[in-house]
Amino acid sequence: MSPIINKTEEASDGCLRQPVSNGASILIKNGRVIDPVNKIDAILDILVEDNKIAKVAKSIKFDADTVIDASNKIVAPGIIDMHVHLREPGREDKETVATATAAAAKGGVTTVLAMPNTQPAMDCLENIELLKKIITQDAKVNVLFCAAITRGRLGRELTDIAVFKRAGVYAISDDGCSVDNDELMREAFKQAEQAGLLTICHSEDKKLSQKGVINLGFNSTRLGLRGISNASEYARVKRDIELAQQANAAVHIAHVSCRESVEIIAQAKQQGVKVTCETAPHYFALTEDVLLEYDTNMKMNPPLRSREDLAAIKQGLKDGIIDVIASDHAPHTENEKDIEFERAEFGVVGLETELSVSITELLNKKTLSWLELIEKFCLNPAKILGLDRGRLTPGSIADMIIISDQEIWKVTKQNLISKSKNSAFLQQSLKGLIDYTICHGKVIYKR
């Protein structure tokens, strides 16, 4: 993977919380340090001074304010989650900035990219200012903005893409919807590229997926539910890549779920198109077979696919075709989930489980190494968004996590702190727990 946007200065009036000098120091001893950008996988000490990584070396001698023994633990950069629905403003019954970012801290996520499908949508500066105020007050981790491509995310009129950058926006997307109009989408790519913004595509042709609720195939047949074909995703992935190519713009494909999408993205990368993509843990951990009891916590869009698709997603991660793992954290209330399957909302929460699911499914099954896993969670999102984060290089901001990677825990409604409990992994035993989350050199979560 190559960085597709040149590293930009973090906007000074942006939504990244500004590191405040506190003069405090933390010494993390004897952890297994994973830092893909510097190709480090070794037992080392890390000294954090005044919000920044000061030193990474063996046996650092320093009289720090806090000393953390990280023996037998993993020390890595904080996760940058490119796909999070905060729900505030508008749907505070599902989740708030305060609860989502607390869940993020617990899950080892130090930066989230907030999707624009709030109420109102993030489609103009006024609405972004509104969210910015809430974030300044309530956010426990860094929150980056993703603005809408079209007004109200209706796919009809472009937003004022050029002004977003100054407001601290990093990307545009109509997430949840795809812009059907080709001309409009091409223009969006062009303007985003000129403005230095990343365009993220929810690639779905709704004319094909229609009123589908689960993957199209034998399971949709036996359950008597309307199916969503792979084609409704990959046909639109293909179009989005073509339009981005015509506009010579960067494109990031969200939540890739099927094998054909992986193939199309692989080909485009080979041809030098500036395309990157992400998948979510449920697409490499679960197949449509978990749906046989009509469990609405297994209902998401795109849907859980077949075993062949799952294998292709894992292979895509291994081959580097899939750059990023993101949660697509989509909180919904019990009232919206504990109803008839066809009527229940799409989406699952994921901030608190994404790392554990990945350790359980990818590391344990030898699909990825620790370096590769941290690359997908930290370094690649930073590169794609143009952030000087996701690394442990001395001088960079100290966003980091300490993980007990052998610890086994069971996901229950009680131990999730997100306001909504619609996890696809309830009652499952997962491996790996966050012990510390450090954001800007400050411990913001401790188990």
Partner 1 sequence: MSWTKKDLLGLEYLTQEEIELILDTAESFKEVSTREIKKVPALRGKTAVNLFYEPSTRTRVSFEVAAKRLSADVINIATETSSVRKGETLIDTGKNIQALKADIIIMRHNCSGAANMLARSLEISVINAGDGWHEHPTQALLDIFTLKEKLGKIKGLNVAIVGDIAHSRVARSNIWGLTKLGANVTLCAPEMLLPPEIELTGAKTSNNLDEVLKNTDAVNVLRMQFERDEGAAFPSQLDYYKKFGITEERLAKAKKNIVVMHPGPINRGIEMSSEVADGTNSVILEQVTNGIAVRMAVLFLVSQAKDAKK
Smallest gap from residue 206 Cβ to partner 1 (A): 12
Name which of 133 and 343 has its Cβ closer to partner 1. Answer: 343
Which residues lie closer than 8 Å to 63 by C-beta, 6 or more apart? none
* 25-35 and 66-69 beta bridge pairing: parallel
Residues 35/77, Cβ–Cβ less than 8 Å? yes
Name which of 310 and 398 has its Cβ closer to partner 1. Answer: 310
Name which of 149 and 216 has its Cβ closer to partner 1. Answer: 216
Cα–Cα distances in Å, from 168 out to 207, 212, 396? 34, 36, 20
Name which of 108 and 212 has its Cβ closer to partner 1. Answer: 212
Between residue 51 and residue 110, which ones bind partner 1 under the rule CB under 8 A?
Answer: none
436: its two tokens: 């510390």
35, 309, 328, 399: the active-site residue: 328
Q: Which of 22, 38, 248, 335 binds partner 1 (CB under 8 A)?
A: 335
Which residues lie closer than 8 Å to 18 by C-beta, 6 or more apart? none
Between residue 293 and residue 322, which ones bind partner 1 under the rule CB under 8 A?
Answer: 293-294
Residue 328 annotated as catalytic: yes
Does 227 bind partner 1 (CB under 8 A)? Our answer is yes
Angle at 174 between CA 377 and CA 386, to 5 degrees: 40
Smallest gap from residue 211 Cβ to partner 1 (A): 8
35 phi, psi to nearest 5 deg: -140, 90
Smallest gap from residue 216 Cβ to partner 1 (A): 6
Q: What is the 3-state secondary structure (H, E, C) of 43-75?
A: EEEEEEECCEEEEEECCCCCCCCEEEECCCCEE
Q: Give the number of residues written for the chain.
A: 447
Does 415 bind partner 1 (CB under 8 A)? Our answer is no
Name which of 292 and 311 has its Cβ closer to partner 1. Answer: 292
Does 338 bind partner 1 (CB under 8 A)? Our answer is yes
Q: Which of 339, 408, 410, 446 binds partner 1 (CB under 8 A)?
A: 339
How many residues of this chain interact with partner 1, rule: CB under 8 A? 20
Between residue 207 and residue 226, which ones bind partner 1 under the rule CB under 8 A?
Answer: 210, 216-218, 220-225
The SS3 call for residue 206 is: helix
Smallest gap from residue 296 Cβ to partner 1 (A): 8
Determine the distance from the C-alpha atom of residue 60 to the mean position of all C-alpha atoms in its chain, rounded to a whole number: 34
User: How many CB atoms are closer than 10 A to CB 8?
Assistant: 13
Residues annotated catalytic, as ranges: 328
Footprint of partner 1 on this chain (CB under 8 A)?
210, 216-218, 220-225, 227, 293-294, 335, 338-343
